[in-house]
């Protein structure tokens, strides 16, 4: 039965302390747990039995207050252990055996590359020992790890190391003590033969913190960036949020087999290697940026997640939405604010808007779930961050910061709810959030439409805003959202206009925030000297879809808006419409005529190549296939592909020489730098190469080969290789072979080799991806490799995944079925590639449904994958 938000009950027992002893052995690890428990009397549950979660544990003994319990005192089931007739306060000692080397789910304690790692969020701790495995049970932990010193010289857990020694049999041990109470999902251990890179950080109040990053031997030359990011994030959290680190040691361990990106275990973050390791020749600029943000994200969880955790998993966005917001703010403050907002919004639109528009749509705070692991979604994370951002936009930065401080102070060392967060914001601002709470409760992306009317005689501008949100599964009717619309008025000369909004004392210019509450609302501006073009949703002030601009208005904003994000946005919207027109023309069987104004806009972007190369690269990047698909009543992958290719070729021909000049070889003598201009030049080189290849295939191929062979960075090499992979040419085959030979020993770079081929548009892609599923280097057990080939193909290759033959669908469905037997979380996550089935033509719909039905017909399909397939299939 699904769990429901309104069925929350406080725990019947609380745990004060947990002492764990691990005898680490890959085949049979003994886990001894000693818990001090106490009945949760405050909640009036008089004689309830003790219920502990536990899965796949081989129970060896149970002692209550030191006395062994006979089998008549407890019941052991598939999901846990129930003990009757327990006193109000007692100790419980259990001993279980687990087999980390057989744990292919990568949840609980497992072995990767011979080393031991854990992943406990959300419900992995129950695969380690019997425990009330829910986040509102917070306890103080010690962990003693015992292992063979040759195999596991390094022994890490949460908190501070307090003692260590050697046993008579030669094994060594280390004891760790975490002084801060925490829920079980934050427990972690790492044991193995890892290389440690150390550094130090002094907090603003003078605490000396020892930093360690622990990686596989041979990777120690790829951690400088992660370490620098960590120190920058620690400093930034002090400055921006007043939050200081609270232990003497902070460790990060990197593991090659990991279900997610990274995990915020108290004092011992565990990371996917993909989000730690970087060297200029192995990682792209995008990798470097993602590492920076994720290192910061997990570190920021120390307060928003660990010190203040979640009462139950329905509150997941309380920590994730807030922590994504915090890592976005860090990114904006430490790089370039407008560029970083552009990138974040692009990601939100590509992933979250699609989720919100299909059968998997769910509120930021879901009302029910079967497997919580299926709710680590773009909605909970990215839309959750937008909801926090809207709160700040509504009440202002100062009140937001006071509200944040109050939230932390009031809920420190406890398990909180979204209401607790919003209450702190209300108390510090006086703002009534009752209508705003719908953002947490209602799924779906609101459509926002505007109309403007200028009365020259009265110097009055009337802006009418209308909102509408389509039904989503289980929510047929939507109440209006409270939408903060940050806006300004741009005059005919391109300058910001003065205006006085009803209720304001004086006219002023610049950004103001309108609060749209009703389905339709009018805002009247007086003293407006000239007819304006409204610049709406500056900085993307709400996660909605805006319409109402004509193309002239978009062109005006693209040229003049004072808000950097909105300027880019207007240009993208202009390009999107031009491409949608091209798609429509292709569907009518007409030739595509590329809009000369679009070409002119791209020429203008090229003028920025020197002073703002990163912005130029973003403007020159045509809207993605996902963006175009989102705007079509019936998605037509072939027309989307052709319209993009044709337009790219036309723009490329018109500006050929300028593109050719930009995509020459990178300057190998310049020192590697991650400043926005250096990254911008590399991005620009790749974009320019794409245009040149489209416009002049022979010259393009030449330039691509040169860039591939000589670029000093992975960004340049991979950019060229990706474009080569789109061509079925001997140059492609040679480049792919060379890349494979050079990098087959590096798992993360090999992932790129798989991903590029999975996403290729070349005509032989389906055959090649099929073949790659049987490649010696393909491994279902490694989530990164599975994502690089199968997920990348399903989510990132619109053209061939949706091939009319249905071969792409069948291939992904087959691979999901196979990976489900090894790792159900990875299988379940991949199913969302089928969730858009209702958006396609009847033939593709039938094929996609058929793929889901084939999965559902397998009686052995895991509960995780079944939940996702049923939701995707039924639209509920
Ligand atoms: N809390 C982690 C993060 O946001 C993600 C862990 C997700 N784990 C899972 N089993 N779904 O960084
Ligand atoms: Zn997180």
pLDDT tens digits for 146-177?
Answer: 999 999 999 999 999 999 999 999 999 999 99
Q: How many residues belong to the chain? A: 876
> Does 327 sit in the ligand 1 pocket, CB within 6 Å?
no
pLDDT tens digits for 494-519?
Answer: 999 999 999 999 999 999 999 999 99
> Does 122 sit in the ligand 1 pocket, CB within 6 Å?
yes
Atom of ligand 1 nearest to the CA of 381: 4
Number of other CB atoms surrounding residue 376 within 10 Å: 18
Residue nearest to atom 2 of ligand 1 (CA): 263
User: Is the bond preceding residue 141 a cis peptide, omega within 30 degrees?
Assistant: no
Residue whose token pair is 């917070």: 138
Q: Are strands 249-255 and 208-215 parallel, antiparallel or unpaired?
A: parallel
C-alpha 67 to ligand 1 mean position (Å): 38
C-alpha 604 to ligand 2 mean position (Å): 39
Q: What is the mean pLDDT of residues 61-83?
A: 97
- The CA-based diameter of the chain, rounded to the nearest angstrom, is 96
Give yes or no for a contact between 771 and 777, defined as CB atoms under 8 angstroms apart.
Answer: no
Which ligand sits closest to the CA of 327? Answer: 2
Residues 6+ apart with CB under 8 A from 771: none
Number of other CB atoms surrounding residue 416 within 10 Å: 23
- What's the distance, Cα to Cα, between the start and end of the chain in Å? 15
The alpha carbon of 221 is separated from its chain's Cα centroid by a whole number of angstroms, namely: 26
> Does 123 sit in the ligand 1 pocket, CB within 6 Å?
no
Instruction: Indicate if the pLDDT at residue 609 is higher than 60.
Output: yes
Atom of ligand 1 nearest to the CA of 323: 4
Q: Which two tokens stand for residue 440?
A: 């947490």
Q: Which two tokens stand for residue 176?
A: 């760790």
Q: What is the DSSP string of 331-342?
A: HHHHS-HHHHHH
Nearest to 212 by CA among 184, 248, 243, 253: 253
> Does 263 sit in the ligand 1 pocket, CB within 6 Å?
yes
Beta strands in 429-516 (DSSP E): 447-455, 460-468, 483-490, 500-501, 512-516
Q: What is the rounded average pLDDT for all residues in the chain?
A: 97
CA distance 854 to 852: 5
pLDDT of residue 875: 56
Sign, Cα dihedral of 200, 155, 282, 751: negative
Q: Which two tokens stand for residue 50?
A: 């003790």
Q: What is the mean pLDDT of residues 836-851?
A: 98
Where do runs of H (alpha helix) occur along 655-782? 656-662, 676-695, 697-710, 714-725, 730-743, 747-758, 765-772
C-alpha 314 to ligand 2 mean position (Å): 14
> Does 262 sit in the ligand 1 pocket, CB within 6 Å?
yes
Whether the predicted interface score ipTM is above 0.85: yes
C-alpha 106 to ligand 1 mean position (Å): 12
Which ligand sits closest to the CA of 269? Answer: 1
Residue 745 banded pLDDT, cuts 50, 70, 90:
very high
Residue nearest to atom 11 of ligand 1 (CA): 373
Residue whose token pair is 């951690």: 223
Q: Which two tokens stand for residue 278?
A: 């970087």
Torsion of CA 554, 558, 559, 565, to 10 degrees: 140
pLDDT tens digits for 357-372?
Answer: 999 999 999 999 999 9
Residue 876 banded pLDDT, cuts 50, 70, 90:
very low
Q: For residue 7, indicate whether it is catalytic.
A: no
CA distance 173 to 22: 9
452 strand-pairing partners: 463
CA distance 259 to 165: 33
Q: What is the mean pLDDT of residues 108-131?
A: 99
> Does 372 sit in the ligand 1 pocket, CB within 6 Å?
no
User: Exposed/middle/buried for 78, CB within 10 Å: 0-12, 13-18, 19+?
Assistant: exposed
pLDDT tens digits for 455-465?
Answer: 999 999 999 99
Give yes or no for a contact between 443 and 379, defined as CB atoms under 8 angstroms apart.
Answer: yes
- In our burial notation (b when 16+ CB lie closer than 10 A, e otherwise), range 721-754 reads bbbbbbbebeebeebbeebbeebeebbbbbbbbb
C-alpha 178 to ligand 1 mean position (Å): 21
Residue 181 banded pLDDT, cuts 50, 70, 90:
very high
Give yes or no for a contact between 455 and 462, defined as CB atoms under 8 angstroms apart.
Answer: yes
Q: Which two tokens stand for residue 666?
A: 């990178």
- Give the CA radius of gyration of the chain: 28
Nearest to 634 by CA among 576, 701, 559, 584: 584
- Give me the catalytic one of 121, 298, 355, 573: 298
User: What percentage of the chain reaches a pLDDT higher than 70?
Assistant: 100
Q: Are strands 533-536 and 154-157 parallel, antiparallel or unpaired?
A: unpaired
Which ligand sits closest to the CA of 300? Answer: 2
Query: Taking CA 581 as the corner, what is the angle to CA 578 and CA 585, rounded to the nearest 5 degrees?
Result: 140
Name the phi and psi angles at 566, rounded to 5.
Answer: -65, -30
Mutating to test ligand 1, I would choose from 125, 260, 276 the residue with most ligand atoms within 8 A of its C-beta, which is 260
Residue nearest to atom 3 of ligand 1 (CA): 263
Nearest to 445 by CA among 475, 472, 477, 419: 472
CA distance 150 to 348: 46
Q: What is the mean pLDDT of residues 321-327?
A: 99
Strand ordering across the sheet containing 512-516: 512-516, 483-490, 533-536
Give yes or no for a contact between 712 and 681, defined as CB atoms under 8 angstroms apart.
Answer: no
CA distance 331 to 347: 14
Atom of ligand 1 nearest to the CA of 297: 12
pLDDT tens digits for 619-673?
Answer: 999 999 999 999 999 999 999 999 999 999 999 999 999 999 998 767 778 889 9
Mutating to test ligand 1, I would choose from 295, 376, 783 the residue with most ligand atoms within 8 A of its C-beta, which is 376
pLDDT of residue 665: 60
C-alpha 562 to ligand 2 mean position (Å): 33
CA distance 802 to 600: 33
> Does 376 sit in the ligand 1 pocket, CB within 6 Å?
yes
> Does 320 sit in the ligand 1 pocket, CB within 6 Å?
yes
Give yes or no for a contact between 268 and 157, defined as CB atoms under 8 angstroms apart.
Answer: yes
Residue nearest to atom 8 of ligand 1 (CA): 121
C-alpha 740 to ligand 2 mean position (Å): 33
Atom of ligand 1 nearest to the CA of 294: 12
837 strand-pairing partners: none
What SS3 state is found at 213? strand
> Does 105 sit in the ligand 1 pocket, CB within 6 Å?
no
pLDDT tens digits for 5-41?
Answer: 999 999 999 999 999 999 999 999 999 999 999 999 9
Sign, Cα dihedral of 569, 575, 581, 587: negative
What angle, 0 to 180 degrees and rounded to 10, lies between the N-to-C axes of helices 285-300 and 676-695? 140
Atom of ligand 1 nearest to the CA of 376: 11
Instruction: Indicate if the pLDDT at residue 783 is higher than 70.
Output: yes
Residue 766 banded pLDDT, cuts 50, 70, 90:
very high
Task: Write out 492-535 in H/E/C secondary structure.
Answer: CCCCECCEEECCCCCCECCCEEEEECCCEEEEEEECCCCCCEEE
Residue nearest to atom 5 of ligand 1 (CA): 263
Q: What is the mean pLDDT of residues 183-204?
A: 98
> Does 753 sit in the ligand 1 pocket, CB within 6 Å?
no
pLDDT tens digits for 82-105?
Answer: 999 999 999 999 999 999 999 999
Residue 559 banded pLDDT, cuts 50, 70, 90:
very high
C-alpha 201 to ligand 2 mean position (Å): 23
């Amino acid at each position: 039965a699904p769990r429901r938000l309104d069925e929350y009950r406080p725990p019947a027992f609380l745990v004060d302390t947990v002492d764990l002893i691990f005898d680490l052995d890959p085949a049979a690890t003994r886990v001894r747990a000693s818990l001090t428990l106490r009945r949760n009397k405050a909640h009036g549950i008089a004689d309830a039995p003790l219920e502990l979660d536990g899965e796949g544990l081989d129970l060896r003994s149970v002692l209550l207050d030191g006395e062994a319990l006979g089998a008549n005192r407890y019941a052991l089931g598939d999901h846990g252990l129930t003990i009757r007739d327990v006193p109000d306060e007692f100790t419980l000692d259990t001993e279980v055996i687990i087999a980390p080397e057989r744990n292919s789910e990568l949840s609980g304690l497992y072995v990767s590359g011979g080393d031991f790692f854990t992943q406990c969020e959300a419900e992995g701790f129950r695969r380690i020992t019997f425990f009330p495995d829910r986040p509102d049970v917070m306890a103080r932990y010690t962990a003693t790890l015992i292992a063979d010193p040759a195999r596991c010289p390094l022994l890490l857990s949460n908190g501070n190391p307090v003692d260590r020694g050697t046993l008579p049999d030669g094994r060594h041990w280390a004891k760790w003590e975490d002084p801060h109470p925490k829920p079980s999902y934050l427990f972690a251990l790492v044991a193995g033969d890892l290389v440690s890179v150390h550094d130090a950080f002094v907090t603003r109040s003078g605490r000396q913190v020892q930093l360690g990053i622990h990686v596989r031997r041979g990777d120690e030359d790829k951690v400088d960036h992660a370490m620098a990011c960590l120190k920058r994030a620690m400093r930034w959290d002090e400055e921006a949020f007043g939050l200081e680190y609270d232990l003497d040691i902070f460790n990060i361990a990197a593991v090659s087999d990991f279900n997610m990106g990274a995990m915020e275990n108290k004092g011992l973050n565990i990371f996917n290697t993909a989000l730690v390791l970087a060297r200029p020749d192995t990682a792209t600029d995008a990798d470097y940026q993602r590492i920076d943000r994720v290192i910061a994200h997990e570190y920021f969880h120390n307060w928003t997640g660990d010190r203040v955790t979640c009462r139950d998993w329905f509150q997941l966005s309380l920590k994730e939405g807030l922590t994504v917001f915090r890592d976005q703010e860090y990114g904006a403050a430490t790089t370039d604010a407008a560029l970083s907002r552009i990138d974040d919004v692009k990601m939100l639109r590509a992933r979250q808007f699609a989720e919100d528009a299909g059968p998997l749509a769910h509120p930021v705070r879901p009302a029910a779930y079967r497997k919580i692991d299926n709710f680590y979604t773009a909605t909970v994370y990215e839309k959750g961050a937008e909801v926090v951002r809207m709160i700040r936009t509504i009440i202002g930065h100062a009140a937001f910061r006071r509200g944040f401080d109050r939230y932390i102070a009031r809920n420190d060392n406890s398990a909180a709810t979204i209401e607790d967060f919003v209450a702190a914001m209300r108390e510090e601002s006086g703002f009534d959030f009752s209508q705003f709470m719908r953002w947490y409760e209602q799924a779906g992306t609101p459509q926002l439409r505007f109309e403007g009317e200028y009365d020259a005689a009265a110097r009055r501008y009337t802006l009418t805003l209308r909102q509408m949100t389509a039904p989503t599964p289980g929510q047929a009717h939507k109440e209006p959202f409270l939408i903060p619309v940050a806006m300004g008025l741009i005059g005919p000369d391109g300058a910001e206009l003065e205006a006085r909004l009803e209720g304001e004392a004086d006219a002023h210019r610049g950004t103001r925030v309108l609060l749209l509450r009703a389905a339709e609302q009018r805002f009247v501006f007086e003293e407006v000297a000239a007819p304006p073009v409204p610049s709406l949703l500056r900085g993307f002030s709400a996660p909605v879809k805006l319409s109402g601009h004509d193309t002239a208005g978009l062109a005006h904003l693209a040229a003049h808006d004072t808000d950097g994000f909105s300027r880019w946005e207007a240009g993208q919207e202009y390009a999107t419409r031009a491409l949608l027109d091209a798609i429509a023309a292709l569907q009518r069987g007409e030739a595509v005529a590329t809009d000369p104004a679009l070409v002119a806009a791209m020429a203008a972007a090229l003028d920025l190549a020197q002073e703002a190369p990163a912005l130029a690269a973003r403007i020159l990047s045509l809207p993605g296939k996902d963006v175009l698909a989102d705007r079509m009543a019936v998605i037509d992958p072939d027309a989307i592909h052709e319209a993009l290719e044709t337009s790219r070729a036309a723009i490329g021909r018109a500006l050929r020489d300028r593109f050719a000049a930009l995509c020459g070889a990178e300057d190998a003598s310049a020192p590697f730098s991650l400043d926005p201009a250096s990254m911008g030049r590399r991005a620009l080189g790749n974009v320019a190469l794409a245009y040149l290849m489209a416009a002049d295939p022979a010259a393009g191929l030449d330039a691509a080969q040169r860039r591939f062979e000589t670029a000093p960075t992975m960004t340049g090499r991979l950019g060229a290789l990706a474009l080569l992979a789109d061509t079925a040419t001997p140059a492609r085959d040679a480049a792919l072979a060379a890349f494979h030979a050079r990098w087959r020993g590096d798992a993360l770079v090999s992932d790129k080799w798989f991903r590029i081929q999975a996403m290729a548009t070349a005509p032989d892609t389906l055959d090649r991806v099929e073949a790659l599923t049987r490649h010696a280097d393909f491994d279902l057990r490694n989530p990164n490799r599975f994502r690089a080939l199968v997920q990348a193909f399903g989510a990132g290759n619109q053209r061939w995944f949706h091939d009319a033959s249905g071969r792409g669908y069948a291939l992904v469905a087959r691979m999901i079925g196979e990976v489900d037997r090894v790792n159900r979380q990875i299988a379940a996550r991949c199913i969302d590639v089928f969730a858009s089935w209702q958006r396609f033509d009847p033939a593709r719909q039938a094929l996609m449904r058929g793929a889901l039905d084939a999965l559902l017909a397998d009686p052995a399909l895991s509960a995780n994958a079944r939940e996702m397939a049923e939701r995707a299939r039924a639209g509920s």
